[in-house]
Amino acid sequence: MASATETYSAFHSASLSDPEDFWLAEAQKIQWFKAPSRALDGQPPFSRWFTDGETNLCLNAVDRWAASQPDTNALLFVSGETGEEQSFTYADLYREVNGWAALLRGLDVSVGDRVLIYMPMIPEAVFAMLACARIGAIHAVVFGGFASGALAARIDDAQPKIIVSTDAGRRMGQVIAYRPLLEGALEISTHRPDHIVTVDRGLVPFEREPRDVDARAALEVHAGEKIDPVPLPASHPSYILYTSGTTGRPKGVQRDTGGYAVALRSSMDHIYCGGPGDTMLTASDIGWVVGHSYIVYGPLLAGMTTIMFEGAPTHPDPGVMWRIVDRHRVRLMFTSPTALRVLRKSGEAPLSGVDLSSLKTIFVAGEPLDAPTVNWWRSTTGAAVIDNYWQTETGWPVLALCRGVAELQPKEGSPGLPVYGYDVQLVHEDTGEVVGPDEKGLLTIAPPLPPGTLTTLWRNDGQYEKTYFIELGGRQLYSTFDWAIRDGDGYITLLGRSDDIINVAGHRLGTREIEEVLNAQKGVSESAVVGVSDPIKGEVPVAFVVLKPECAASDDLKIRLNQAVRARIGAIASVHELHVISALPKTRSGKIVRRLLKAICENTEPGELTTLEDPMIVDDLIRTVRRGRQSIA
């Protein structure tokens, strides 16, 4: 009898050796207006999936299940802030989404128009997303933690016809005003939307303008209307999701319709092992890719019940998530390593009196998962803790344990094996040659990328190819920008980034984006930001700033600089430490040696430094960091 690894290896090999048959078989799991006759078209890097097929994401996420299981819960909204709970069956979801689709149609939104959604974690955000999918509009959801500057950049790039927003959200007992941030963004941006549709929660007063549309009043006008889902080519863009870029400019990842539906539906069978009758709690935000794929689309495509949670996992207390698991008999949970580490600090007391027998698997992604956290949660909850690795760009896992295919066992520190459809290759950074077992290599994917991954960057095919595809050894490869090693069994372990993206509590941030904010402030000559390991958040940004001669270092200056970062990008980009230095470490060619700054902060070896223009700077940097940390302490 074949081992689990051998069984999965054969499955994975089939997906690469015969992608036509493999993916056409997977495509039968969703509904089509016109079934595709072929799987793959185009030439890498611009591969296209199921191009002669026509389908609709909303048809598969809502209508299909409203017809077969109308009384089954589709969406449960739970607020950790107010204690409020709302349940929506598939019949309810069908009604709500039709209302929003009619609202958008009434504002002249049609196929291909962009709708920017700037919302907290409330049901109306999901309704708006699904309504866009229903009528063929392209939604661009922006994380509610972003400030006006970051929001303005996304408005200008997406050029939405409509913006859907709210007056405010709630987090950790505080009201977070959205409307002032949106108004601030519209003052900065050059693009002007036709209308702003606002869900008024009565939390923050605001002045209405002629372009404002009250969502509740408009929905009453359209109550009872039915809008048929539009048959869309499989290659039609379903959404744009912005991710931090190495140039400081956010990149608009563009996803298709048919390939994304097939990939997510397939992943629910083979990776997450969920279907009708199961409840999934994904503790993320719809502004991130995990929220798109595994709060909204993935569970609904599989006919499951998905839980939308408003709040933080520790508010009003560290037991809030586990009470939800108990009360709603959650079978699958998806969260971040940071959340598990934070909750672990509270010990077992929050789990006292809570029945977690329904919970079978806790999935985590977004950052490395440490063994002590895994072992503690496994022993405490009795659930399997399974890591997986992917990116905003890929839309679904690249590395995972496909336990719907074979009973694969986890290995400490590894997110698992390459997922079917991904030809993952660890290669030498200079030659492009595949490295051997236990040798460090750049984690790449040989084209074509599988269904569900990005098809391009919004309105920027050239930047898409330039950013993600590298030529090594005469081959074109998609680069994840991550270092990794593979063991003798094929399990892959991530070692770190090869670019300047840092991972703060599962959120990807571009250090250049933070540097641009710092460099624009009065008195700042130049800066460098590095990601430094943190036991709770995984990484935190640490800034090194060189001031102009007329500007003196002070605590007030450091506060002002950090406030500028928070105002421009958002609280998630808050600088953990800010050190004022006389000069940045640079090579003779003028390149900033960021690995030296990172090594000093983490007290590790920086590696070869013979190209430093001024070797004497190292001791000065070490002293500055030590003094700064002593001052904080």
> Which residue type, as a one-letter code, is found at position 467?
T
Q: Would you say residue 430 lies in a domain?
A: yes
Q: Is 420 inside a domain boundary? A: no
Q: What is the pLDDT of residue 166?
A: 97
Is 464 in the same domain as 356? no
Asked if residue 417 is part of any domain, the answer here is no
Nearest Cα residue to 103 out of 89, 118, 90, 115: 115
Statement to judge: residues 173 and 95 lie in one domain:
yes
pLDDT digits (tens, 9 = 90+) for 460-513: 999 999 999 999 989 999 999 998 999 999 999 998 777 777 888 888 787 878
Q: Is residue 224 part of a domain?
A: yes
Neighbours of 71 (CB within 10 A): 9
Shared domain check, 142 and 157: yes
**What is the predicted pLDDT for the residue at 588?**
63
**13: closest CA among 490, 423, 493, 487?**
423
Decide if 511 is inside a domain.
yes
The angle subtended at Cα 26 by Cα 387 and Cα 134, nearest 5°, is 90
Give the whole-number percent of the chain exceeding pLDDT 70: 97
Owner of token pair 């605590």: 555
Q: Which of 288, 272, 305 is nearest to 77 (CA)?
A: 305
For the segment 566-576, the average pLDDT, to the nearest whole number, is 91
Name the residue with higher pLDDT: 248 or 226: 226
Q: Is the pLDDT at 61 greater than 60, yes or no?
A: yes
Residue 179 parent element (H or E): helix 179-188
| CB within 8 Å of 614: residues ≥ 6 apart | 583, 585, 586
pLDDT at position 246, please? Answer: 43
Report DSSP state, residue 474. T
| Domain span including residue 585 | 502-632
Which of 474, 497, 520 terminates a domain? The answer is 497
Banded model confidence at residue 46, pLDDT cuts 50, 70, 90: very high
Task: Report the alpha-carbon distance of residue 488 to residue 511 in Å, rounded.
Answer: 35
pLDDT digits (tens, 9 = 90+) for 432-453: 999 999 998 999 999 999 999 9
Among candidate residues 472, 497, 522, the one where a domain is terminated: 497
CATH code, 487: 2.30.38.10
My answer on whether 446 and 513 are in the same domain is no
Q: Do 298 and 318 share a structural domain? A: yes
Q: Which of 465, 497, 529 represents a domain boundary (last residue)?
A: 497
User: Before 615, cis peptide (omega within 30)?
Assistant: no
Q: Are residues 197 and 87 in the same domain?
A: yes
The one-letter amino acid code at 309 reads F
Name the strand (E) or helix (H) holding 8.
helix 4-17
Residue 446, SS3? strand
For residue 181, give Cα distances in angstroms to 45, 193, 507.
37, 16, 20
Q: Does residue 506 sit in the same domain as residue 493?
A: no
- Tokens for 592? 């900033």
Query: What CATH number does residue 522 fall under?
Result: 3.30.300.30
Q: Of 182, 154, 148, 158, which Cα lies nearest the Cα of 168?
A: 182
CATH assignment of the domain containing 222: 3.40.50.12780
Output the CA–CA distances (angstroms, integers) from residue 409 to 3, 385, 398, in the order listed: 11, 11, 17
Which pLDDT does position 244 carry in this prediction?
66
Could you report the per-residue pLDDT of 336-365, keeping only the tens digit for each?
Answer: 888 898 898 889 999 999 999 999 999 999
Averaged over 382-410, what is the pLDDT? 97
Residue 510: the pLDDT is 77
Residue 261 included in any domain = yes
Quote the CA–CA distance of 271 and 84 in Å, as a whole number: 32
Q: Examine the domain organization and report whether 237 and 382 are in the same domain.
A: yes
Specify if 71 maps to a domain.
yes
Residue 247 has pLDDT above 50, yes or no: no
- Which pLDDT score, from 0 to 100, does residue 440 have? 87
**144 in the same domain as 87:** yes
Residue 419 within a domain:
no
Which amino acid does the sequence have at 112? G
Cα 103 from Cα 221, distance rounded (Å): 8
What's residue 243's pLDDT?
Answer: 86
Q: Is the pLDDT of residue 236 over 90?
A: yes
Q: Kindly report whether the global pTM for this prediction surpasses the value 0.75.
A: yes
Q: Are residues 310 and 161 in the same domain?
A: yes
What value does the mean pLDDT take over residues 135-158? 93
Q: Which residues lie closer than 8 Å to 252 by C-beta, 6 or more apart? A: 140, 154, 157, 158, 240, 241, 242, 457, 458, 459, 460
| Same domain, yes or no: 34 and 178 | yes
Percent of the chain with pLDDT over 90: 79
Same domain, 326 and 267: yes
Our measurement of the distance from residue 527's CA atom to the centroid of its chain's CA atoms, rounded to an integer in Å, reads: 27
Total tally of structural domains belonging to the chain: 3
Check whether 631 has a pLDDT greater than 80: no
> What is the rounded distance in angstroms from the CA atom of residue 87 to the CA atom of residue 96?
12
